[in-house]
A = this chain, B = another copy of it.
């Protein structure tokens, strides 16, 4: 059911008239109180009956697709339903989260709870700040060198896919990044042995991208930085909160929310406090961690609704038992899908080295590549969408973030087996 603006405006005008006609104030001094006649809910409901605005159609399982997009990505159904139920009026506040002053007590409670729950989920030590920012991970590609480096500082980059490569290139404007290892010549299917890394002793930090969405390569453990500062920096945009992480190994962790923890528009930065406060003079104020930290992410207006949605996701992850439990589910889903690929006698192929296969993004191709378009089309008919591989690599890609239900993976695998049977 779609609601026309005209019918919704009817309600708007109707309620305005109610407001207009029903106030009277007396001018007698002292003890006469303002009386506001109570609204007549019955007439509002009649309007609702006529216009059918106020009750969204009950969602049914039939409506929902399995969405394998790489980000923005599927969100937990219960989180969406909750957000829907309280969009118009958040918990008796009389307004939407989208309308709240970011400095009012309601929104402050939302952002504080979100931070607190995230700290619990990741067991973030107290010497780290948590920032909720705008601008995506792509802004962090600039912010990190601007905040941590001088223009002359060496920074070591291990590039295992496209996102690490973008971070490396952006850092060139603000530091002296050095590409100490690249997986490009092997088409980004590997992660190096950490002992093999030729780290620069004077590097300000070592940068990795913990999970590469396009190439499906994921760090299962982390290198020890062998530079003087001992700082490791990781882009965890696409596996953030998919498994436990020992935050104390890192100087900075950053993550765009729109893979595992929320809608687009929120970027979370977890940064050791001692690394804050030495930004280069050319740093725009909105990229200066000190400004955001001093102001608890409220220097300017934060992306409030996105932060609220992240908060709902964090609550849901805690209810599931936290990141150890979530990791188990993700391992199970990944195993089911990778097994289906590996047991297909080559009909399906995944090029990634087995020990570093991502549990978040599963790229695969068909031996008979001419069938790929048909595969994607048929899957979409079965309500499995966004399976096309990234435009830079082609093939297929199933993104199976936290919120992809087990049932989605099972359906995909069943479909893959059947498709193979029909095209053997």
Contacts and interface: CB of A to CB of B under 8 A. Distances in A.
B56 A88 contact: yes
B173 A303 contact: no
A83 B415 CA distance: 34
A225 B88 CA distance: 44
Interface in A87-105: 87-89, 91-96, 98-102, 104
Nearest to A166: B285
A58 B72 contact: no
B8 A300 contact: no
A315 interface: yes
A174 interface: yes
This chain's copy number in the assembly = 2
A57 B300 CA distance: 33
A262 to B, nearest CB: 8
B81 A264 contact: no
Given A63-B89, A95-B65, A82 B263 contact: no
Contacts of A385: 94-95
A55 B44 CA distance: 17
Contacts of A58: 44-45, 48, 54-55
Contacts of A84: 56, 84, 87-88
Interface residues of A, number: 132
B386 A85 contact: no
Interface in A24-56: 25-30, 32, 34, 36, 38-39, 41, 44-45, 48, 53-56
Contact of A304 (B59, B101, B264, B422): B264
A285 to B, nearest CB: 6
B8 A64 contact: no
Contacts of A72: 98-102, 301, 304
A322 B348 CA distance: 55
Nearest to A417: B25
A3 B83 CA distance: 10
Given A69-B101, A136-B286, A264-B305, 16 more contacts: A2-B86, A3-B86, A5-B319, A8-B77, A12-B78, A15-B61, A19-B405, A23-B414, A36-B382, A39-B62, A53-B78, A69-B104, A95-B385, A102-B264, A135-B135, A174-B282
Interface of A: 1-3, 5-6, 8-9, 11-12, 15-16, 18-20, 23, 25-30, 32, 34, 36, 38-39, 41, 44-45, 48, 53-65, 67, 69-78, 80-89, 91-96, 98-102, 104, 134-139, 141-143, 146, 170, 173-174, 256, 258, 262-266, 281-287, 299-306, 309, 315-316, 319, 382-383, 385-386, 405-408, 410-411, 414-415, 417-418, 421-422, 424
